[in-house]
Amino acid sequence: MSDEQAETQRISVSQIQAQKGGPPLVCLTAYSKPMAQWLDPYSDLLLVGDSLAMVIYGLETTRGVSLDAMINHGAAVMRGSTRACIIVDLPHGTYEDSPEQALASAKRVMEEAGVQGVKLEGGTDMQATIRLLVDNGIPVLGHIGLLPQKAESRGGFKIQGKDDEGWKRVMDDAKAVAEAGAFAMVIEGTIEALAREITDIVPVPTIGIGASPACDGQILVTEDALGLFSDFTPKFVKRYAELGQEVELAVKAYADDVKAGAFPGLEHCFGVPKDKD
Ligand code: KIV
């Protein structure tokens, strides 16, 4: 993106798509307005991921978050951003039954959150669904490889593509998602060589998470990268800060001040000498 474009308008899905093979796309997750404000100047795409089920709501898996919740978080992230392309995950149970169910859910997300597209997990099994959404003017970000919503039924959070069968399945998924018209696809948790080959083959950008530096972009769960979520830290996460520890130190200092009567000071009170309010 040129600096001029970045300052004047939100990055579109077409611009993301056009960046195939160009400078790496910078993508992160965001669930709230303040976090979106911090991330927006540096991000091409912000994903309102269903990972919020675990990171924000403390659930064991990404399942269990409602479409209403995703819409609310999507709208919050829109309010906190002006530059990045904003995409919302379709949560488990809102799109898998039929392409028509997916279309109804995606329409709600687009209309009520005002975002630029939706993401859904799956490959060959979701080809008809992606095609229907795209035909109805709804941009779709695909998600292949390790699929967190389906992890339980596939034996857990396992790296994909290690054997010939797994490699072929993920490769077929990548081709199906691209052929269906997705503007880009997330590749999660696959062996490096497979993500590299998919990136070479498909005509749309690949966005890696635990995949390969050869992908056209990278995404991380922001709270993982900032040290704000420590329940489980996968190998592919790089910690850029330990904000959780900073929060703990600050809260301890506050608690100590309150207990010692050191907060509030007179400067925090109204109607005392020198107070202009
Ligand atoms: O829900 C999410 O945060 C995601 C990313 C891990 C890609 O799908």
Distance CA 272, CA 277 (A): 9
pLDDT of residue 6: 45
| 29 ligand 1 Cβ < 6 A | yes
| 51 ligand 1 Cβ < 6 A | yes
Q: What is the pLDDT of residues 154-174, one digit of tens each?
A: 767 899 999 999 999 999 999
| 120 ligand 1 Cβ < 6 A | no
Cα distances from 93 to residues 61, 63, 90, 229, 238, in angstroms, run 13, 8, 9, 25, 31
Measuring from atom 5 of ligand 1, which residue has the nearest CA? 49
Residue 58 scores a pLDDT above 50: yes
Measuring from atom 1 of ligand 1, which residue has the nearest CA? 49
Measuring from atom 6 of ligand 1, which residue has the nearest CA? 221
Judge whether 153 lies within some domain: yes
Nearest residue to 29 via CA among 83, 87, 81, 78: 87
The count of structural domains within the chain is 1
Judge whether 273 lies within some domain: no
Judge whether 257 lies within some domain: no
pLDDT of residue 262: 98
Inter-residue contact 62 to 82 (CB < 8 Å)? no
Judge whether 33 lies within some domain: yes
Q: Cα dihedral sign for 17, 19, 20, 23?
A: negative
Judge whether 247 lies within some domain: no
Question: Residue 188 forms beta bridges with which residues?
Answer: 145, 209
Judge whether 214 lies within some domain: yes
For residue 135, the enclosing domain spans 3-242
Inter-residue contact 244 to 227 (CB < 8 Å)? yes
Structure tokens at 182: 């997705």
Residue in the structure block whose two tokens are 């064991």: 60
Residue 274 scores a pLDDT above 80: no
Judge whether 256 lies within some domain: no
Inter-residue contact 225 to 38 (CB < 8 Å)? no
The number of the ligand 1 atom at minimal distance from the alpha carbon of 50 is 1
Inter-residue contact 174 to 196 (CB < 8 Å)? no
The angle that helices 67-79 and 99-108 make with each other, rounded to 10 degrees, is: 40
Structure tokens at 241: 């800060």
| 184 ligand 1 Cβ < 6 A | no
Residue type for 103, please?
L
As annotated, the active-site residues are 188
Judge whether 268 lies within some domain: no
Q: Could you write out the DSSP letters of every residue in 10-61?
A: PPPHHHHHHTTTSSPEEEEE--SHHHHHHHGGG-SEEEE-TTHHHHTT--SS
The number of the ligand 1 atom at minimal distance from the alpha carbon of 188 is 7
190-199 burial, b for 16+ CB within 10 Å, e for fewer? bbbebbbbbb
Report the mean per-residue pLDDT for the chain: 94
Residue 35 scores a pLDDT above 70: yes
Q: Which of 6-15, 47-56, 131-140 has the lowest mean pLDDT?
A: 6-15
| 190 ligand 1 Cβ < 6 A | no
CATH number of the domain enclosing 182: 3.20.20.60
Residue in the structure block whose two tokens are 């990972």: 51
Nearest residue to 98 via CA among 120, 77, 75, 128: 128
Q: Could you write out the DSSP letters of every residue in 198-260?
A: HHHH-SS-EEEESS-TTSSEEEE-HHHHHTS--S---TT------HHHHHHHHHHHHHHHHHH
pLDDT of residue 28: 98
Q: What is the pLDDT of residues 220-268, one digit of tens each?
A: 999 999 999 988 788 999 999 999 999 999 999 999 999 999 999 999 9
pLDDT of residue 277: 56
